[in-house]
Structure 1
Amino acid sequence: MTGNRTHLLLYAVEDLRKPLIQQLLAYPQINYSFADTPSELLFQIAQQPPLLIFCRTTERSRVPTSTPLIILCPTHEYHPAQFIHEPAIVDIVAETDLMRLPFIVLRELREEHAIVRETHRLRTLVEHTPYGVIEVEIDSRQIRWSNKAMHHLFGYSAGEMQNLHIEDLHPNDIHTTIINAFQQMSSGDETPLIHITCLHQDRSTFFAILHRAELTGTGKRSSSSFLPMLLVNTKVSAPCKSMPTGSNSPCARLIKDCTISISAVVGQL
């Protein structure tokens, strides 16, 4: 085994230790370990969550639901369709087909590496986009990350931004509006805040559009505890009350153009 992270945790399969080691011996890039009891399983997961856990069908209920599983089935019970509604199961191996196990692990490793690369490249692109982007913790509304455009718009450094909550970027009299809108956006509402007053560090104000963002390279919505927010500076000193806000309005087209601009770059990854 090489490196530190456990790619494959083999749980409650001590009787198959020798044939499993024989199958994995030819793949030194796969880090694996064994856990024979529930306490050993939980201890190893707490130390460092593995990429995959390999266990028998009868033991899968003991494994935390957040961990992807490879299930070991008796050959006569090998019916993959019965697990179709268990999303944690990434593959199934028959007891007489252990040679498949390394190939499943390598497949999952390749997918994980691709996601890491994509995430890094997406982060780099978003960091340099001209539109302000922040990630906000849903429960606390605290800003956890912001790009350079946000630092320029508000006059805060990256470290200073992380000490703020999303409502701190706006005057006190609209904090309730910001909090309510954020809660709605975190629940899936994609209605933007138009002509919202923003508060610079020097206490000057400007107006902008605040919008929920879906900044993922796979086209899937983020399911994490952070909500990406897109802020577009409208570059005006006062709100235009009469500007229409329908789906074909200038504001709506501006938001759409910004989102498409980011998505188009992501699509080139």
Structure 2
Amino acid sequence: MKSDNRRQGIMDFLVDAGAASVDDLASRFGVSRMTVHRDLDELEESGLLRKVRGGASIQPSSLFESDFRYRQKQAIGEKQRLAAAAVTMIEPGQTVIIDDGSTAGGIARYLADLRPLTVITNNLAVIQDLAGVAGINLIALGGQYSKKFHGFFGLLAEASLRSLRADVAFLSSSAIHGASAFHQDQEVVQAKRLMMAAATRKYLLVDHGKFGRSALHFLTDLKAFDAVFTGRGPEPGMRDTLDAAGVSLTVVADKD
């Protein structure tokens, strides 16, 4: 197996497993441990995984955000509930911004029922879902494609956002610490901040597992959002912190 194919195979395996040992990968791909270490070094340098003792992981940490494909498979039912609840904040004829997150991106499937709409996004999954849909005026932000985030970022995307205005923006974040949102990647943070600045109303969609986490870069205080949607109420101490900070929290509980 060629090295590029093997490295893609390692990533495909980690998307399902989350983590793996060097020994497991060496056995699975029929190569030496040294070859696996070289592959993992290359993938880590590209920002696609993080090496841990004895192996590798694509699970998030304070410095590392997971691959888009891995995040898509996490908390699926909760993310669907959040998207269904958040879409009630949209009215036909409005302009909507959707960020790169897998949680906010789930809104796309509900938008056909609210046409006509203008949708602005850097999320390639949303672009693919809405391209060619009648009644959807789709504005795809330019920029450099990130395989890890499955979206577009950088100077071109930022310049476009500075020239646009929207009625409502839907964002996700990888970590909620105290009454603030954080993210591991500074370029992603910049895009999200510009989306917030471009919108009259702003909503954050985060599954309950994001609470109590931290990441390297401060995104914004949660009170900057008109509402924060989550699928399960945070622990009492965390809820007290949010209430004291004036955060509007909407818990979309599982009816089952």
TM-score higher than 0.5 here? no
TM-score range, shorter chain: 0.3 to 0.5
Larger Rg: 1
TM-score (norm 2): 0.34
TM-score (norm 1): 0.33
Whose relative contact order is higher, 1 or 2, with alpha carbons under 8 Å and at least 6 apart? Answer: 2
